[in-house]
Structure 1
């Protein structure tokens, strides 16, 4: 009785296998993938198809150049704000080392705050652009979007920045930036 059930269940499976092998031809099974899913069929709201201009803008926004410029501008703004903030809480801003007893004017304090803000802004912009560009290049090369891209990019960025001070500083910069990138990726994902 069990043998007859096995034969009965094997018959439809063998028929399906023979249909697949007959349809696939000599080159193996032909699979078709669709990237344009109809949301109305899946229970979502229907979305009109994207125009060529929208697709072009999306490709541009996903390019490494755009991501690097965006990170550069964002780093500049964030670095400037951070520099002005740290200058605002620094008690030595505006003081002249030659005459420490003289009280600085508001103009001198604002000038020092602006200089520190600009210095931080430039540094953050360069680091942001380097990190974003290397991460995008690594992601494009690997073809995978995961946490390893940020770690590799952190190592390259930190190593390049630290290498200006020597090999040991480059290795420490690589390790430090890679560890920081891994921690950020762990908490953000």
Structure 2
């Protein structure tokens, strides 16, 4: 039979002993070392399960969305400083007063745009994770359905027609991005 080609199953902590590189002594693991290995494996498994939960994915996406939105706002605020129409509000101010007004406006804009990006990221990632868990599949339709729901939720204050168009637009965008991310890269061998 082909049993000689199968990978042997080894319980963690009960691996065959190997010689110590410094002394050359062959020693098996003690019961305390085995318990430590099993405890570490449980901790790793618990962290992995936590990172794959919808709450954790939504929180991470929301935080990253907040950071990206704040960064975009920061980059965009550099253009408003050089705006000739904005210069009129700074007339008669010394440098310290001008800096206080500019940095205050930057902070408000970063908070506002970061909050918006964070909300969109958390909503989409959480919805996609819940849909993936419900369908028990990992395919492109999860992102399309999540885009449809997220777009509709984001446009809920503008009426049913806007919800339909928002959902369809977000679903199309999600499908385009997900199909691009899932494509196979050509081998260059």
* Alpha-carbon shift at residue 94 of structure 1 (Å): 9.2
May I ask how many residue pairs the two structures share in their alignment? Answer: 145
Matches within 5 A, 1:70-109: 70-90=60-80, 91-92=82-83, 95=86, 102=91, 105-109=98-102
Q: Whole-Å Cα distance in 1 between the matches of residues 164 and 48 of structure 2?
A: 37
* Alpha-carbon shift at residue 118 of structure 1 (Å): 0.7
Unaligned runs of 5+ in 1: 1-36, 41-45
Q: Whole-Å Cα distance in 2 between the matches of residues 70 and 156 of structure 1?
A: 20
Q: Whole-Å Cα distance in 2 between the matches of residues 113 and 103 of structure 1?
A: 21
Q: RMSD over aligned Cα, in angstroms?
A: 2.8
Q: Whole-Å Cα distance in 1 between the matches of residues 49 and 145 of structure 2?
A: 24
1:61 aligns with 2:73: no
Q: Whole-Å Cα distance in 2 between the matches of residues 70 and 175 of structure 1?
A: 25
* Alpha-carbon shift at residue 95 of structure 1 (Å): 3.0
TM-score, structure 2 length as denominator? 0.68
Q: 2:114 aligns with which of 121, 124, 128?
A: 121
Structure exhibiting the larger radius of gyration computed from Cα positions: 1
Unaligned runs of 5+ in 2: 1-5, 10-14, 16-36, 183-189
The superposition leaves residues 127-184 of structure 1 with CA deviations (integer Å, 9 ceiling, x where unpaired) of: 1110011000000000111111111101111101112111111111101111111111
Q: Taking CA–CA contacts closer than 8 Å with sequence separation of 6 or more, which of the two structures ends up with the larger relative contact order?
A: 2
DSSP 3-state at the match of 2:91: coil
